């Protein structure tokens, strides 16, 4: 006769703080387990290693690591692998910040080296902020055309 051990399994899972699927019961001691009615009885069986907790299952990250290494090399990034628009992958704001920082840094270098006056620095700083120039090269070209650069 096979006894139903689900109440014992449930109690053991609760005591070991694990799911019922992780509870292992020794098949040789089924009679002892069936006689266990209270949580205290189950605790004794756990101490005797008649009931044990199976290790939790982990997901292997090896496939992910291989794919990530390929992406770092530039593979797996084609149109079929992309989700979202071009702007979602490289937001407009990030692009703006990159270009603005580049222009402001070059403007500071020119001011500190004496290539432009402080008043011209202020003027062009405001123009950069206003979005007059798309790139650093566009800024330099404009400055050359205006004759704002000294020594050129």
Query: Which secondary structure element, helix H or strand E, spans residue 127, and what is its range?
Result: helix 118-129
Do 6-53 and 90-146 show the same overall fold? no
Taking the domains of the chain in order of start, what are their residue ranges?
Answer: 6-53, 90-146
**Cβ atoms of 125 and 116 closer than 8 Å:** no
pLDDT in tens, 69-110: 999 999 999 999 999 999 999 999 999 999 999 999 999 999
CATH of segment(s) 90-146: 1.10.1200.60
pTM of the model: 0.57
Tell me which fold the domain 6-53 belongs to.
Answer: 50s Ribosomal Protein L19e, Chain O, domain 1 (1.10.1650)
Contact 53, 18 (CB under 8 A): yes
Q: Are 33 and 50 in contact (CB under 8 A)?
A: yes
Looking at residue 57, what DSSP letter applies? P
1: pLDDT confidence band, cut at 50, 70 and 90? Answer: very low
Q: What is the pLDDT of residues 3-50, one digit of tens each?
A: 689 999 999 999 999 999 999 999 999 999 999 999 999 999 999 999
pLDDT surpasses 80 at 151 = no
Share of the chain above pLDDT 90, in %: 95
């Amino acid at each position: 006769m096979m006894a139903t051990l689900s109440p014992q399994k449930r109690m053991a899972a609760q005591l070991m703080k694990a799911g019922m699927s992780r509870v292992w019961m020794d098949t040789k001691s089924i009679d002892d387990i069936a006689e266990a009615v209270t949580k205290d009885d189950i605790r004794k069986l756990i101490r005797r290693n008649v009931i044990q907790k199976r290790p939790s299952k982990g997901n292997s990250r090896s496939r992910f690591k291989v794919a990530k290494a390929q992406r770092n090399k530039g593979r797996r990034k084609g149109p079929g692998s992309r989700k979202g628009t071009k702007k979602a992958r490289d937001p407009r704001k990030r692009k703006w910040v990159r270009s603005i920082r580049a222009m402001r840094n070059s403007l500071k270098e020119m001011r500190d080296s004496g290539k432009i006056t402080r008043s011209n620095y202020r003027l062009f700083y405001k123009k950069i902020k206003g979005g007059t120039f798309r790139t650093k090269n566009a800024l330099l070209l404009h400055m050359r055309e205006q004759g704002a650069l000294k020594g050129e």
